[in-house]
Structure 1
């Protein structure tokens, strides 16, 4: 005989929701494509390192600020995976696993972590405080650059080129002005989108 208690428990337990819905997956794919497209814009090598200035970090910031930590991380991770398997989605149409051991590898490793941090700050600090204003989102997004992207980028250049921290930091210097401008765009766009669609971050 079937135990009524176990039957009741089985039938009453709710089905586990998937981590990502179909809409979530579509957003993740769309933002991975956006970052791929932005990697081609600019691609201006600076200094003696050959590391180009691109709009990749704009896409990374938008992914985190608009999609939240989980989907933002997934979008950037998908972008990196596409490049790793050979699609020319990195700066200057480069691709392959070799890029992840190159001079710009530190920046690439930093991207998904930055999206995770930016998304968490926007979702749990800015949104829950009712402050998804542009200036607050700017602070959240800029934290991703200051705390993650630039430190890991500097570390990657130091290790690859076997130079001092000061030299690597000097190579990183030209990227700061562009990051301020790109973070401003992220803040303005994210603030308007979240004002129009306040539910966007609920599953982020």
Structure 2
């Protein structure tokens, strides 16, 4: 990971703030009354736009502020107690989720494409977060891992909605403002063939 410059730090701060803002509405019910929050959407976008490491850093900044006591999680939650409860693994899983999303979206330093973005949102925005969240929830609640996994499936429809929305947003942004992604893509500018020819 390269050392972030002032622009990188500003982008990291913006996405940390975005994730916090997405928690302001709290939770809202999906079909069947299952509550979901929008903050995971911000995590997915951070990984996709900033890349794996800076995206994870944006999430880490947010969680550090939460640990310091700021009520930045959905429902106005904050403080160290957040990291001792059943949802602790999901919060920590956001960091891994941002990394996985960024690695897949920007695989090989290439320009993001829709299918790879969709895969990233499912693998990172859902799979990676569940992979940490479910075992921790099982350990804290002392429920069997299998039962905890089955219980967590009620949140899957909401997470699929967020993954789909994140895919659409990133795809639109890539087409409308590709320069905003170049720091994560690490794409070198194409050589000026006119100058190359003149030099020859």
TM over 0.5: yes
1:194 is displaced (CA, Å) by 1.8
Q: Are 2:1 and 1:21 equivalent residues in the alignment?
A: no
Q: Note the 1:131-146 alignment, pairs <5 A.
A: 132-146=112-126
Name the CA distance, whole Å, in 1 between partners of 2:166 and 2:125.
Answer: 12
Partner of residue 69 from structure 1, selected from 48, 52, 56: 52
1:189 is displaced (CA, Å) by 0.9
1:32 corresponds to which residue?
A: 16
Partner of residue 132 from structure 2, selected from 142, 148, 152: 152
Per-residue Cα deviation, 1:89-146 (whole angstroms, up to 9, x for no partner): 0121011111101010010010011101101111125x62x5x333331111111134
* Contact kept? 2:98, 2:125, Cα under 8 Å: no
Name the CA distance, whole Å, in 1 between partners of 2:11 and 2:131.
Answer: 28
Distance 1:121 1:142, change over 3 A: same
Q: Note the 1:174-193 alignment, pairs <5 A.
A: 174-193=154-173
Aligned-residue Cα RMSD (Å) equals 2.1
Unaligned runs of 5+ in 2: 185-200
1:198 corresponds to which residue?
A: 178
Partner of residue 79 from structure 1, selected from 53, 56, 62: 62
1:153 is displaced (CA, Å) by 1.2
1:53 is displaced (CA, Å) by 1.9
Unaligned runs of 5+ in 1: 1-17
1:90 corresponds to which residue?
A: 73
Q: Are 2:163 and 1:163 equivalent residues in the alignment?
A: no
Name the CA distance, whole Å, in 2 between partners of 1:181 and 1:42.
Answer: 17
Which secondary structure state, in structure 1, belongs to the residue aligned with residue 27 of structure 2? strand
* Contact kept? 2:104, 2:119, Cα under 8 Å: no
2:153 corresponds to which residue?
A: 173
Which secondary structure state, in structure 1, belongs to the residue aligned with residue 22 of structure 2? helix
* Contact kept? 1:102, 1:160, Cα under 8 Å: yes
1:100 corresponds to which residue?
A: 83
Per-residue Cα deviation, 1:141-165 (whole angstroms, up to 9, x for no partner): 1111343111211111100000101
Q: Which runs of 4+ in 1 moved over 4 A?
A: none
1:40 is displaced (CA, Å) by 2.7
Larger radius of gyration: 1
